[in-house]
Structure 1
Amino acid sequence: MEHLEHKRKIMIMLAIMAAMLFAALNQTIVGTALPRIIAELGGIEYFSWVFTIFMLASSITAVLVGKLSDIYGRKPFILTGIAVFSVGSLMAGFSNGMIELIIYRGVQGLGGGLIMSTAFTAVADLFSPRERGRWQGLMGSVFGLASVFGPTLGGWIVDNADWHWVFWVFLPFGVLAFILILTLFPSVEKKPGEKVDYSGSLFLTTTIVPLLLAFSWAGSKYDWSSSQIIGLFAAAVVSLIIFILIERKAKSPVLPLHLFKNNVFTLSNLIGFIMGAGMFGAAMYIPFFIQGVIGRSATSSGLIMMPMTLSMVAASTLGGQFITKTGKYKALAITGLLIMAGGMFSLSFMDVNSSATVVILNNILIGTGLGMSFPVFTLTIQNAVDHRYLGVATASAQLFRQIGGTVGVAVMGTIMNLRMSDKIAEAGKEPGAQLAQNPQLVAQLKDLDPQVLMDPARLASIQAKIPAEFQPVFERLVGMLRDSLGYALTGVYWIAAFIVLTGFVLTFFLKEIPLRQSQKPGQGDETKEKAI
């Protein structure tokens, strides 16, 4: 597709960005709305699963479709992704409980993995590595713009309408994106001699699933040393060994192992994993701080998050232009990771007395660093492999980033719960003694827990039932819960900053190879040899 007319390429890119916009809007709208959804449906203990299941499902489909799209072309998979994502969004709006919501988020994830993996690979089909910088930046901007409007609209919906509309409002975008892709995207014939690696796909899946389940449950549902967690890790290791043995003999492996001999490919994926863990592990919990700790509404939470995404859009767009113009990307990634880590480190100093302005400034730092560095590593991976591996290479970038994000959210959620429990146990001794003398008051406060902090109306309803003489005790309890949640979250941000700093250090070891001006046969192999 590299030699299509420029006008046709632009139209195809508009179709691709429409598909990405649909998926991204449905992802980002959930963040600020979820605390209120949890307050209505209950199940704060499953909070991280709403994100974990999406990333788990999208990780699996992203890597599996990589090789398939190299064989059959990108079009059928991006169309399937849009259709599956639309069904998941529709059903998520009908959820009556957290378990149902998690299941339908998983369906969304299956479609989202198909969309994101094929969209970024299609850019590589259309443009040479040197030209991709500009388009990767613009695609990052599309996701950034969705991150601006999604959280704001999500907060407005749960404050002013039924939360179910969070999942339904953008369904028309799915129909539009499907029509555009169907009519504009060129079809390709199946590559001769290529077979689907069913065995490798199966054992890759059975490696990823127990691994992520182990990280999700360890320290919260089960002890790290429990038989359940050890069993999951053991299953992941056994599946990984079988997967490696299968891939070494497979004629058309789902994930060619020889790609990991390429230092640029391996290091870029490792940094992508680290960035995913740090970014998702911290960013997903920022709305909890805004709503639960400093007591802002869901709508305010969306507005406070907006500067992060606007700064990400600006940095991503300008960074992409810089890469296309200069052909340089390493310094951009290093600077971005350092800024991002600084923003997360600043988050760790916040508490119940922090102002919205402080949160906004820290979010701007994170957004700027993220916009500068995030698109770089997909570009480096695509530039380091031969064109026939574009799909699987791009999918690997998605896989490692998503696994990092899943592990990050799970580990950060465990840390948050443990720190919050310890802080509540320590801080609740004094009001607990007073409550022990008033069993009637204890019954009235049975619904007072950290998740009620995200629902001002419910909190006010509980307070209205408390006799005047016990209002000071109630206020101390609420203050104790806010302080405990803040203490737990700042610990999460500190660890996230350390994780991103690790990626910053590793980027210094990334070899900066020239961005190819074309993707003609032979040039990919030459570049790959230089990268090894």
Structure 2
Amino acid sequence: MEHLEHKQKVTIMIAIMAAMLFAALNQTIIGTALPIIVADIGGMNYFNWVFTIYMLASSITAILVGKLSDTYGRKPFILTGIGIFIVASLLCGLSGNIYQLIIFRAVQGLGGGMIISTSFTAIGDLFPPRERGRWQGMMGSVFGLASVFGPTVGGYIVDTWQWNWVFWVFLPFGIVAYIMIWRLFPKTETSGKRSVDFLGASVLVITIVPLLLAFSWAGQNFAWNSATIIGLFTWSLFGLFAFTLIEQRVQNPVIPLHLFKNSIFSVSNLGGFLMGMGMFGAIMYMPFFIQGVLSISATQTGFIMMSMMLSMVLTSTIGGHLITRTGRYKIFAIVGLMTMAGGMFSMSLMSIDTTVTGVVRNLILVGLGLGLTFPVLTLTVQNAVDHKYLGVATSASQFFRQAGGTMGVSIMGSIMNMTIGREIGKINPPANTESPNELQDPQLLMDPNQISDLKSDTSQLSSLQFDQMIESMREVLSTALNGSFLFGTFILIGAWILIFFLKEIPLRLSNQNDKKEKLSS
């Protein structure tokens, strides 16, 4: 599609970014709205599945659709993804109980995986590698904007309208994007192979699902050494072995294993995996510090977290333009990961005395680094493989990043919980008093109303003693989060060291692979 006129390419990209914004907003908007939704339809014990099932479905779809789009073209899959997402969003808003919501979120995840996978791949169809940096950066900005405005819009909707509109308010964006892509998006050239590796796809699914479930549940629902978690890991290990054997024998594999012999492909995906661990860890656990340790409201927390996303949007856009102008990309990943690691290390040094200004500074550092790194690791993968593998290579890049986030959040959560358990035992309760059990659970710090109610109902402790116990809980939570952020720091340093081994090759000026420019895979 690189032969199209520039104006037509820009119009198509606007449609693709509208589809991406539609999917991303529906993912970020639900965070602040979910407590109200659960209060209305019930199911507090299952609310985590609203997030988990979406992640599982989108991860599986993204990795599978990459290869299928190489075979049958991008247009059918991006249209199918938008259509599924629109219908699922409508049904989510009609959910009468938590089970229906979980099912419809799974369907939504199937559509979301198609949209994300084909959208990033379509950039590779429209533009040669030398020009992709600009657009990869802009696509990263779409994610950042959705993370900025989604939670705020979600909170406003549940405060002023019915919660159903959280899923319905952006449906017009999806419909407009569908019409634009249907009318403007041309058919893409395919590899010409029509056989589909159904066996390999099935084995891949039953390998990935237990692995992601294990990391989602470990340390939260089950202990890391429990039979359930060990069983899930064992199942995935055998599944991976079977998948490798299958892919070596089929004619048109879901993931061509020879791609991993390409050092750029392997290093970039491993770097994206590690970056995902650090990125999602900061996004998930920083609100715990802001609300629990600093006693700042959820609404204000959303505004503070904006600093990270806005800085990401800034450097993602600027970095993408500089990559296109200079043709260099490795230096941006090195500087970006170093900046992210510095911001994460500063987070590990925070305490109950940290100011809001200090928190914002640390978030900006992480955001600046993330914005510089985000466009690079997809671009390097696309530039290093033949164009006929563009879809599967791009999908692999997205999958490794998301899988890293899933695993990172789980490991950091386990570190936090273990540290809390250890530090709670060091607290000396006030003499001759019996502290309520609630005062030994840092989760109490997330709900100021519960603290006020407990303070008025507690007769064993004086006001001063109660405040001292709350202060101790804040110190416990701060120490626990310090450990999690320190783990994230080491992970990002590992990614930074890894990127030095990334071979930088010239960004091709055309999607037609010139033998002098192409890296042998």
Quick one: structure 1 residues 53 and 421, their matched pair in 2 at CA, closer, same or farther if it must change by over 3 Å? Answer: farther
For the 8 Å contact 1:52–1:410, the answer to whether it is kept is no
Corresponding residue of 2:284: 284
Corresponding residue of 2:510: 518
Q: What is the TM-score with the length of structure 1 in the denominator?
A: 0.89
Q: What is the TM-score with the length of structure 2 in the denominator?
A: 0.91
For the 8 Å contact 1:338–1:501, the answer to whether it is kept is yes
Quick one: structure 1 residues 509 and 251, their matched pair in 2 at CA, closer, same or farther if it must change by over 3 Å? Answer: same
- Residue by residue over 1:279-323, the C-alpha shift from the partner in whole angstroms, topping out at 9 and shown as x without a partner, is 112221222222222122222111101111111111011101111
Structure 2 matches for 1:2-401, cutoff 5 A? 2-31=2-31, 51-93=51-93, 103-157=103-157, 165-188=165-188, 192-401=192-401
The secondary structure found in structure 1 opposite 2:207 is: helix
State the percentage of identical aligned residues: 58
Structure 1's unaligned 5+ residue stretches are 437-441
Aligned-pair Cα RMSD in Å: 2.9
Measure, in 2, the Cα distance between the counterparts of 1:286 and 1:182: 40
Corresponding residue of 1:435: 434
What is the CA-CA distance between 1:413 and the residue it aligns to? 1.9
For the 8 Å contact 1:339–1:369, the answer to whether it is kept is yes
Quick one: structure 1 residues 242 and 158, their matched pair in 2 at CA, closer, same or farther if it must change by over 3 Å? Answer: same
Quick one: structure 1 residues 493 and 95, their matched pair in 2 at CA, closer, same or farther if it must change by over 3 Å? Answer: farther
Aligned residue type for 1:492: S
What is the CA-CA distance between 1:101 and the residue it aligns to? 5.4
Quick one: structure 1 residues 148 and 102, their matched pair in 2 at CA, closer, same or farther if it must change by over 3 Å? Answer: same
Corresponding residue of 2:485: 493
Measure, in 1, the Cα distance between the counterparts of 2:186 and 2:315: 32
What is the CA-CA distance between 1:125 and the residue it aligns to? 0.2
Measure, in 2, the Cα distance between the counterparts of 1:493 and 1:41: 35
Measure, in 2, the Cα distance between the counterparts of 1:485 and 1:374: 30
Matched, 1:527 2:515: no
Quick one: structure 1 residues 162 and 393, their matched pair in 2 at CA, closer, same or farther if it must change by over 3 Å? Answer: same
- Residue by residue over 1:107-142, the C-alpha shift from the partner in whole angstroms, topping out at 9 and shown as x without a partner, is 333222111110000000000000111111111122
For the 8 Å contact 1:337–1:501, the answer to whether it is kept is yes
Measure, in 2, the Cα distance between the counterparts of 1:164 and 1:482: 35
Aligned partner of 1:509 among 483, 501, 505: 501
Aligned residue type for 2:283: A
What is the CA-CA distance between 1:34 and the residue it aligns to? 5.5
Quick one: structure 1 residues 92 and 481, their matched pair in 2 at CA, closer, same or farther if it must change by over 3 Å? Answer: farther
Measure, in 2, the Cα distance between the counterparts of 1:503 and 1:128: 27
Quick one: structure 1 residues 91 and 525, their matched pair in 2 at CA, closer, same or farther if it must change by over 3 Å? Answer: farther
Quick one: structure 1 residues 37 and 362, their matched pair in 2 at CA, closer, same or farther if it must change by over 3 Å? Answer: farther
Quick one: structure 1 residues 333 and 193, their matched pair in 2 at CA, closer, same or farther if it must change by over 3 Å? Answer: closer
The secondary structure found in structure 2 opposite 1:3 is: coil
What is the CA-CA distance between 1:362 and the residue it aligns to? 0.5
Measure, in 1, the Cα distance between the counterparts of 2:452 and 2:198: 55
Quick one: structure 1 residues 371 and 210, their matched pair in 2 at CA, closer, same or farther if it must change by over 3 Å? Answer: same
The secondary structure found in structure 2 opposite 1:380 is: helix
Quick one: structure 1 residues 85 and 453, their matched pair in 2 at CA, closer, same or farther if it must change by over 3 Å? Answer: farther
For the 8 Å contact 1:383–1:524, the answer to whether it is kept is no
Measure, in 1, the Cα distance between the counterparts of 2:95 and 2:421: 29
Quick one: structure 1 residues 193 and 338, their matched pair in 2 at CA, closer, same or farther if it must change by over 3 Å? Answer: closer
Structure 2's unaligned 5+ residue stretches are none
Quick one: structure 1 residues 349 and 422, their matched pair in 2 at CA, closer, same or farther if it must change by over 3 Å? Answer: same
What is the CA-CA distance between 1:408 and the residue it aligns to? 1.0
Measure, in 1, the Cα distance between the counterparts of 2:62 and 2:195: 18
Measure, in 1, the Cα distance between the counterparts of 2:509 and 2:110: 34
User: Once structures 1 and 2 are overlaid, which stretch shifts more, 493-502 or 223-232?
Assistant: 223-232
- Residue by residue over 1:47-91, the C-alpha shift from the partner in whole angstroms, topping out at 9 and shown as x without a partner, is 865544433222111110001111111122112222333344445
Measure, in 2, the Cα distance between the counterparts of 1:11 and 1:50: 34
What is the CA-CA distance between 1:198 and the residue it aligns to? 0.6
User: Once structures 1 and 2 are overlaid, which stretch shifts more, 453-462 or 263-272?
Assistant: 453-462
Measure, in 2, the Cα distance between the counterparts of 1:157 and 1:477: 36
User: Once structures 1 and 2 are overlaid, which stretch shifts more, 205-214 or 508-517?
Assistant: 205-214
- Residue by residue over 1:142-188, the C-alpha shift from the partner in whole angstroms, topping out at 9 and shown as x without a partner, is 22222221233334445666555444432332222222222222235
For the 8 Å contact 1:153–1:302, the answer to whether it is kept is no
Quick one: structure 1 residues 231 and 402, their matched pair in 2 at CA, closer, same or farther if it must change by over 3 Å? Answer: same
- Residue by residue over 1:3-56, the C-alpha shift from the partner in whole angstroms, topping out at 9 and shown as x without a partner, is 112111111000000001111112233445567778999988878655444332
Structure 2 matches for 1:457-468, cutoff 5 A? 457-466=449-458
Measure, in 2, the Cα distance between the counterparts of 1:327 and 1:161: 49
Corresponding residue of 1:454: 446
Measure, in 2, the Cα distance between the counterparts of 1:524 and 1:300: 55
User: Aligned residue pairs: how many?
Assistant: 521
Quick one: structure 1 residues 357 and 50, their matched pair in 2 at CA, closer, same or farther if it must change by over 3 Å? Answer: farther
User: Once structures 1 and 2 are overlaid, which stretch shifts more, 211-220 or 369-378?
Assistant: 211-220
For the 8 Å contact 1:152–1:306, the answer to whether it is kept is no
User: Once structures 1 and 2 are overlaid, which stretch shifts more, 163-172 or 392-401?
Assistant: 163-172
- Residue by residue over 1:394-448, the C-alpha shift from the partner in whole angstroms, topping out at 9 and shown as x without a partner, is 0110111111111111222222222223333433x40596226xxxxx5xx7699
Quick one: structure 1 residues 82 and 193, their matched pair in 2 at CA, closer, same or farther if it must change by over 3 Å? Answer: closer
- Residue by residue over 1:328-368, the C-alpha shift from the partner in whole angstroms, topping out at 9 and shown as x without a partner, is 00011100000001101111112233221111111100010
The secondary structure found in structure 1 opposite 2:518 is: helix
Corresponding residue of 1:439: none
Quick one: structure 1 residues 326 and 360, their matched pair in 2 at CA, closer, same or farther if it must change by over 3 Å? Answer: same
